[in-house]
Structure 1
């Protein structure tokens, strides 16, 4: 048999039974939390024109996009990102809506990769976007929504790592290096490649930014991290960002989330996309982030309307893999009836107050066999003698 007829494409998978229940439970809890915070759902097409992401200057390389053409030969992509299409909608179709806008989504993104290493190419994301608001309170709005979304899912150990795009941008711009060198430095900081970073920075050791850039992979922890970077540089843009982070953390701590926040000034992933604070979220002992977010004030302007924005996206697949939730209760009663008693049986299922299911069989013996095999506690029977309940013996 052809192996491709019985397997899933690389990077995708089937999610079965218990795993699906946990997945949907996570999705519902995040959805309920965001709606309670005033966010309204938006759905964008799975297929977008490739030009949408070119216009946005997407940091997702075209080689990571699944591409196809429409009947007129125009290039399409399977949606590789949720925020860019939302920016397209807001700037082209929501001109009359009063700002700020609170939008959320629960939909898939698709990203191809030549080196999967266990990475998914199809990911269900839940995310929130706050558009048309800037400043400390707007950032706190989206940050606390992210905190509460993770808390709603597990309510145990999670952490948010917080950084600021202006710190790296100000330091690297002072070196006046070419794009290739800048990307090399950024990559070494992101990957915490201390030795390689030191080597590439060696020609700039007489520059004021040298010590701070070299230290960035190690600037991880509590408030002392902000003190350290302020000691290493007197760059005014860096110091403003440090002061902003300090005020942000003070407010977060006052709101009761202080134990869940750490500083990571080596957070430089997709640095061109973000314009202010950036953050990543982790659950339990997971090594990979389940949440990414930050401020991206320049994106909507690329579609013709300058709107400040901030948001986050949760990888529900990664989240579901990293936590073990209490299973929602499964049905405990199996209800058997003949065709003439169907209404009575359905009325019982609807009003009994217990989780009950209709037996999909024609004889009492078949119903009892199903009840034993599937682990129901009670077999409820409707017939000419009324209703009978029988405890199921395993």
Structure 2
């Protein structure tokens, strides 16, 4: 429905997502997810908007968080230089994603030694700060992966100016599904949750499957996981205390509702009182710590 829209298009959603986990391993098959997508544009500016939006999102729910940043084309470029079938490539990708060094070495030992094999062997251990780019560039020199590394370095340097400190980490072992992502990829973690609560990246080839080829990037948030974390935080208050409680005398109810709407437009946190008597309204305001009761009519 959006093919004829003026690009770029920004979308957001909130819905239940289903993923098949045959072994379960403590994971749910259904969870609530929120996400945003930026469609119809490619390039550094678009990538920075998606990344900075994701960072602001995770900062809004947690102080102790970490963003891991990678690039799909580092792995894709290296693996394309090795003559193996798609099933074997996927086995290698899964072992890197799981940082299973032993299984990865067993798989790579079956291949003829070459620069690409050596570089892939090191991917799970290439995480950290600026030093990662020096080591990775040396390992990948002469391969197509260097272009992706240079671009990732540019994004990393720009994001550092947001003052993230050690919360921003380069992880070249971040190899998401290589049939989906085509550019930068990232994950977000918060303290107390073992799995990533946020993930995304650039996926420029996907919309071609729907006869609408265009650049695309976005991210999704596991809202169930974040909710569980916040509910377990004893320092979090879930009481929304308004600044003003607006009570309507009989016959002035609509006037009071309009007054609440006007206050909210002007940035005042006001709430319409649904209690029947002024005495009940005043008692409620005192219990809640509401500073002002405004009587209409």
In the other structure, the counterpart of 1:225 is: 132
Aligned partners of 1:344, 1:113: CA distance in 2, in Å? 56
In the other structure, the counterpart of 2:12 is: 104
* CA-based RMSD: 3.3
In the other structure, the counterpart of 2:34 is: 126
In the TM superposition, residue 190 of structure 1 has moved relative to its aligned partner by 0.9
Change in CA separation of 1:95 and 1:342 when aligned onto 2, cut-off 3 Å: same
Change in CA separation of 1:102 and 1:354 when aligned onto 2, cut-off 3 Å: closer
Change in CA separation of 1:132 and 1:202 when aligned onto 2, cut-off 3 Å: same
In the other structure, the counterpart of 2:240 is: 329
**Which runs of 5 or more structure 2 residues have no equivalent in the other structure?**
264-268
Change in CA separation of 1:279 and 1:334 when aligned onto 2, cut-off 3 Å: closer
Q: Show CA shifts across 1:337-363 (max 9, x none).
A: 9xxx65578978976977675458x9x
**Which runs of 5 or more structure 1 residues have no equivalent in the other structure?**
1-92, 379-385, 387-394
- TM-score when normalising by structure 2: 0.80
In the other structure, the counterpart of 1:186 is: 93
Stretch moving more, 348-357 or 118-127: 348-357
In the other structure, the counterpart of 2:176 is: 269
Matched, 1:163 2:74: no
Stretch moving more, 205-214 or 274-283: 205-214
In the TM superposition, residue 332 of structure 1 has moved relative to its aligned partner by 11
Matched, 1:195 2:87: no
> What is the total number of aligned residue pairs between the two structures?
278
In the TM superposition, residue 322 of structure 1 has moved relative to its aligned partner by 2.8
In the TM superposition, residue 174 of structure 1 has moved relative to its aligned partner by 1.3
Assess if the C-alpha contact under 8 Å between 1:253 and 1:259 holds in 2.
Answer: no
Aligned partners of 2:289, 2:237: CA distance in 1, in Å? 20
In the TM superposition, residue 243 of structure 1 has moved relative to its aligned partner by 0.6
Aligned partners of 2:171, 2:202: CA distance in 1, in Å? 16
Residue of structure 1 aligned with 2:158, choices 251, 256, 264: 251
Assess if the C-alpha contact under 8 Å between 1:226 and 1:246 holds in 2.
Answer: yes
Matched, 1:293 2:200: yes
Change in CA separation of 1:239 and 1:109 when aligned onto 2, cut-off 3 Å: same
